[in-house]
Each structure stands twice: as structure tokens, then as C-alpha cells.
Amino acid sequence: MLQGGGALGAYQAGVYQALAEKDYLPDWIAGISIGAINGAIIAGNAPERRVERLREFWELITNAAAKPPSHGDFLRLFFNEWSALASAASGVPGFYRPRLPPAWLLPWGDEGALSFYDTAPLRATLEQMIDFDLLNAGAVRFSIGAANIRKGNSVYFDSADKGRRIGPEHIMASAALPPGFPPVEIEGEHYWDGGVLSNTPLEYLLDAHRDDPMLVFQVDLFSARGTMPRNLLDVYERHKDILYSSRTRKNTNAFRDAQKLRQAVDRLYDRLPNKLKQDADVAYIREAARGAAPMSIVHLIYREKYYETQTKDYEFSRASMEEHWQAGLDDTRRSLRHEDQWLQPPQDLEAVRTFDITRDFD
């Protein structure tokens, strides 16, 4: 499960590299925004090429020319802010470029009037780095979330839906964060970034599949937990963290309660006399409560560096990318030392178990 988070998405690439080293290869990937892009690169390449392709993508869209200062908290903060400003002013190669003329000068209703940037470079990058025949073949189920602009609903494009072939436009729709990026039209409807409604795909997984035991790796780029802001920069950052963390823990707890209720319905049904089992209301409740398989969720969360501010998700320097990637590697390798805990199947009455790397293992 890959959350959205722009430049922070290199953390997810590091997580995948560590999992691949231990042969934890996914049979289902769900993503939002940059999580959809990372997920598509993973699902759309053979296992032996996935890390290489992720590295190629992240090196393409990050700036290696500028070097951060070797010491000094303030200097590094200044470097990151300058780098983010450069990404905002000049765009990111292989990802997006500023509109010329700018959106303000275009007539209302024109496609270019709806965003500051043109994402045509992203389409070319996706077509270059992803084998869409492989992605749609079904070896790895692939699900990505977007927001339907007209209806205001969350929509998932899922490779399990045999009536739809997922292409670059679906991934771009999932990553079309307004007002930076333009909406994407698919089959007559227009879509924005799935993070507009929920930045975490976990809820979709929990709703779509609850019949079989699962081991889930939930990789978040924004932490719901944080400290009290000290200044306006902190205020902007904390607001963004809370907004895009999308209440992952709340969803997990709600699903745990629902699973316990389903299990209780199953146990109660088994104790009913045959006459009551034929009752229409009982049959309806049992069907609604079907599927209560236990689940283990390993929760990996990126923790920002002391010099990062609210610009961290559009700061595309190579130095920061390498740090995010390494953080994903380190966090996952450390958590994998405790794999015996989640490889042990949950007891039936446990329903859902969550392992939070920071809380449980640090």
C-alpha cells in the first residue's frame, strides 16, 4: 500500500528494495499519486528489473547538479528551500514543466487554464519505463485511486477489472494534484489526484478483499503523529502531514472492529437452530458479515528530517532523494529483523494486527 507524497516517494523505492532483497514480492500493489507511479513501475517490470527501473526513474526526475552543504542546519534548510523553489519555477525533467503561456493568461475552459504545469513529460516517462502489457497481465494485481471531479467520489482503477486496460492516463489521473497538475480525462470523466479525497489506499484494500489472510505492508510518506509547531513553516508542514496522512490508523482500527464483529456473527450463526438459520434477516446479516480472515499490517512511515519543511514533497534534489531512499532501506531492513512476529499467522480472535516500526522496534 503506497501513499502519495511527491518527492518523498523515493522512500517507497527504498522500502521495495529492502523487501525484494528478502524475496517479499507483492501479489497486489495499491497506490495513490507518487505511490501509483512507483507501484506501476514495480508491477510493470519483471522482478529482476524493478529496483533498477525505480532507480532510473528517481535519478531522471531529481537534480544532481546542486550539492548540499556538508554541515550546518540552517544551510541545509536553505538548500532544500532553494531546491524546492527551483522545482516550482523550472519544473522537473521527465515529470512536469511550467505552462507557457501561464494558466492565468489562458481563456476560461481551456485545458491549460486548469493547472500551473504541463505533465506531458510524465506520460513519456511512464511509456518508457513501464511494460503495460505486463502490468495488465495480472501477475501482480494493481489498483490506483483517483478523485472524480464531477461526482466528488473516490474511484479505483484496478487491473482485476478485466473490462478495463490500465494505461498511462490512469496513473497520471491518480497523480493529478490540483492546481499544479491538470485533470485527466478518461472515458468522458475527469479526474484529479486520489489524495484529494484519501491519500491512503488501505481502505480500498480492506473493502475489496477480506476473505483470505493477508500480510500487508503499508508505506506512508506523511506521519499523523508530530510535535507542536514552533513557527509558520512548522504550521504549514504539520497541516500537510495531518491532511495527507489520511487517518491510516483510524482506518486500521475501524477495520479491526469490523472484523471482530464479522467473526462474532459467524460464531453466533453456528449456535443458531436450523429454523432460525433459514430466516431472511439472519441470512442477510450473515452475508453482510462474510469474510473475516485475520490480517497482519506492517506499517512503515517516513519520518521527516529536522531541516525539512512543508516543501519536502516537491523538493527534488538528488541529495534528498538519496536520503529518502536510504531511509526506506534502513527502516525496512530494521523491521525485517522482527519478521518472525508477523509471519506467525494471527489467531482467529485477533482479527487485525498492526506493527508500527517506530513505535514497536525503535
User: Which stretch of DSSP H or E encloses residue 301?
Assistant: strand 295-301
Whether residue 40 contacts residue 72, with contact meaning beta carbons closer than 8 Å, is answered with no
Report the 10 Å Cβ neighbour count for 4: 31
Grid coordinates representing 154 are 473516490
Residue 292: predicted pLDDT: 58
User: In the prediction, which pLDDT does 347 show?
Assistant: 60
Q: Is 101 exposed, middle or buried (0-12, 13-18, 19+ CB in 10 A)?
A: exposed
pLDDT tens readout for residues 8-30: 999 999 999 999 999 999 999 99
Separation of CA 72 from chain center: 32
What's the pLDDT score for residue 349?
47
**pLDDT value of residue 362:** 40
Read off the DSSP letter of residue 118: E
Q: Taking the alpha carbons of 113, 167, 147, 238 in that order, is the dihedral positive or negative?
A: negative
What is the rounded CA–CA span in Å between residue 138 and residue 41? Answer: 14
pLDDT at 348: 53
Residues (pLDDT < 70) of the chain are 209-211, 246-249, 290-293, 345-352, 357-362
In angstroms, the CA 107 to CA 140 distance is 43
Q: Are 195 and 144 in contact (CB under 8 A)?
A: no
Residue whose C-alpha cell reads 548540499 in the numeric block: 68
Burial of 300 (0-12, 13-18, 19+ CB in 10 A): buried
C-alpha 4/C-alpha 221 separation (Å) is 7
* Among 29, 51, 35, residue whose Cα is nearest residue 140: 29
pLDDT of residue 361: 43
Which residue in this structure is represented by grid cell 497486489? 28
Q: What is the pLDDT of residue 346?
A: 62
Contact 144, 170 (CB under 8 A): yes
How many other C-beta atoms are found inside a 10 Å radius of the C-beta of residue 239? 12
